[in-house]
Amino acid sequence: GAGVSQSPSNKVTEKGKDVELRCDPISGHTALYWYRQSLGQGLEFLIYFQGNSAPDKSGLPSDRFSAERTGGSVSTLTIQRTQQEDSAVYLCASSSRSGTFYEQYFGPGTRLTVT
Amino acid sequence: AQSVTQLGSHVSVSEGALVLLRCNYSSSVPPYLFWYVQYPNQGLQLLLKYTTGATLVKGINGFEAEFKKSETSFHLTKPSAHMSDAAEYFCAVIPDTGRRALTFGSGTRLQVQP
């Protein structure tokens, strides 16, 4: 079946602009995660959704970052007033609510470059 | 807080040689442990996991790892390296505290020499 998909695959934006990154999880997966991968910080957790709720958003680095999930499916990560330090690969993952909740399946990522 | 330490940011082996990638975690309780692999310009792929039960776990592509509670380690091994194993490998944990987020190590880039 289809895996996790993310769009766009690449995004170049000017400093100060807003960007939206999209994630389509595996069908039927109730949990969805956003991570960020950057040279300086490695792989960092951003936010976790169970259904449409976000019980853990402890990794969001500032109030410029927000995310939502609708219909228990697609999620959008929004970064407002982008800064150069936001340049990174943003990875989305999903997992089932069942006994294998810990098996997270990752998408290919969105590479964000802020100029 | 959970932390994961991967010893060696770069490891180089010859084709056919043993692969050993080291991972240690800090935890007061046994966590869930994972190894992920990342090929260039791709997302992360789950290689193997330890949750409960048998401490030696086998994964895809001939990799295996052993959970050693006394050493707080979860090292990844493969008896014979193949050129296609060249990639970056990440050790990760989920603490058994109800959190769901993965905490990753800094990664080890594996090079396989012909």
Number of Cβ within a 10 Å radius of residue A18: 11
Which residues does B66 contact at the CB level (< 8 Å), separation at least 6?
Answer: B55, B56, B57, B73, B74, B75, B77
- Tell me what pLDDT residue A111 has: 96
The whole-angstrom separation of Cα B27 and Cα B2 is 6
Q: If you search the block for the tokens 């989920």, which residue do you land on?
A: B94
The whole-angstrom separation of Cα A102 and Cα A89 is 22
**B69 close to B81: Cβ distance less than 8 angstroms:** no
Among the partner-chain residues B34, B100, B103, the one whose CB lies closest to the CB of A101 is: B100
- pLDDT over threshold 90, residue A19: yes
Q: Does B52 touch chain A (CB under 8 A)?
A: no
Instruction: Find residues 9-38 of chain B whose CB sits inside 8 Å of chain A.
Output: 32, 34, 36
Among the partner-chain residues A42, A56, A108, the one whose CB lies closest to the CB of B100 is: A56
- pLDDT over threshold 90, residue B31: no
**A88 close to A38: Cβ distance less than 8 angstroms:** yes
Mean pLDDT of chain A: 93
User: Which tokens belong to B108?
Assistant: 């080890």
- pLDDT over threshold 90, residue B12: yes
Q: Which of A43, A49, A101 to mutate to test the interface with B (most CBs of B within 10 A)?
A: A43
Mean pLDDT of A50-70: 94
Q: E strand or H helix at B92, and its extent?
A: strand B87-94
Helix (H, G, I), strand (E, B) or coil at A86: helix
pLDDT in tens, B50-106: 988 888 999 999 999 999 988 999 999 999 999 999 999 999 998 766 778 899 999
User: Which tokens belong to A45?
Assistant: 């957790």
Q: Measured between beta carbons, which residues in chain A are less than 8 angstroms from residue B44?
A: 91, 93, 106
The whole-angstrom separation of Cα B100 and Cα B114 is 40
Query: Which of A94-108, B40-54, B78-92 has maximum average pLDDT?
Result: B78-92
